[in-house]
Amino acid sequence: MIIRDLHKAYGRNEVLKGINLELPDGRITAVLGPNGSGKTTLIKCVLGMVIGQQGDILFDGKNIKNDWHYRRDIGYLPQIARFPENLKLRELIRMVKDIRNQPAYDSELISLFGLEPYLGKLLRHLSGGTRQKVNILIAFMFDCHYLILDEPTVGLDPLALIRFKDLLLRQKEMGKAVLLTTHMVSLVEELADEVIFILEGKIYFQGKIEDLKAQSNEQNLERAIAGILMNNGHV
């Protein structure tokens, strides 16, 4: 995936100001930035949910404009899991399978995250942590080449977090391209091959974690990020 000079504004509020980035195969790219920096708008543009006023997004060398087929190769995990509350979990899984009409690999994921006891329960009765496991299940149950994950670890218990990280690393080993946003710095340090820091709709850093630390003269990623914010008037 390649993004070229992407701009998006809502009225006079310019949210993305010329974003350029690539999402390489077999790598995990973490997009960081404070709330309101443009991360979610960037993801929505990639998914075709929001159309930029300027710029191009290319999947496998093809522009996504006026084309929706590329989405079949994306596994998407939204920041907040919103499901039809009156459905049971097994009904949701069946519905998503019918909509996507692609080979699904849900059984392994159901077992991995211990979701068997919840298959017959209504979604509105599930706890926040269990809903996040369902969110992960839906995002990973198809063999998609691109994984776009918006705050994927919110609400996960320690065991589920370990299993999620192992799952993500397996996807990377399979050559998939992963884009994730998170405020969990330890997750970035453990998993990310590349970091992109967005502030006020612009990319202020793109590269390896070690390079960001060196650039900011910090040994700690959290402090390096704080340095970018303070140097740009964010206290």
Over 90: is that where the pLDDT of 216 sits? no
Least Cα distance to 21 among 37, 39, 34 occurs for: 39
**Which residues are registered as beta bridge partners of 65?**
none
Distance CA 190, CA 192 (A): 6
Question: pLDDT for 192-202, tens place per residue?
Answer: 999 999 999 99
Mean pLDDT, residues 96-106:
93
CATH, residue 183: 3.40.50.300
Does the residue 86 lie in any domain? no
Does the residue 122 lie in any domain? no
Q: What is the predicted pLDDT for the residue at 175?
A: 97
Note down the domain range covering 223: 2-80+140-157+169-231
Residues 7, 10, 11, 16: is their CA dihedral positive or negative? negative
Q: What is the predicted pLDDT for the residue at 60?
A: 87
Does the residue 175 lie in any domain? yes
Count other C-beta atoms under 10 Å from residue 120's C-beta.
10
Distance CA 198, CA 39 (A): 7
Over 60: is that where the pLDDT of 235 sits? no
Over 70: is that where the pLDDT of 234 sits? no
Does the residue 106 lie in any domain? no
Domains contained in the chain, number: 1
Mean pLDDT, residues 105-110:
96
Q: What is the mean pLDDT of the chain?
A: 93
CB 30 within 8 A of CB 195: yes
Does the residue 151 lie in any domain? yes
Residue 187: strand, helix, or coil: helix
Does the residue 90 lie in any domain? no
**Which residues are registered as beta bridge partners of 41?**
none
Does the residue 49 lie in any domain? yes
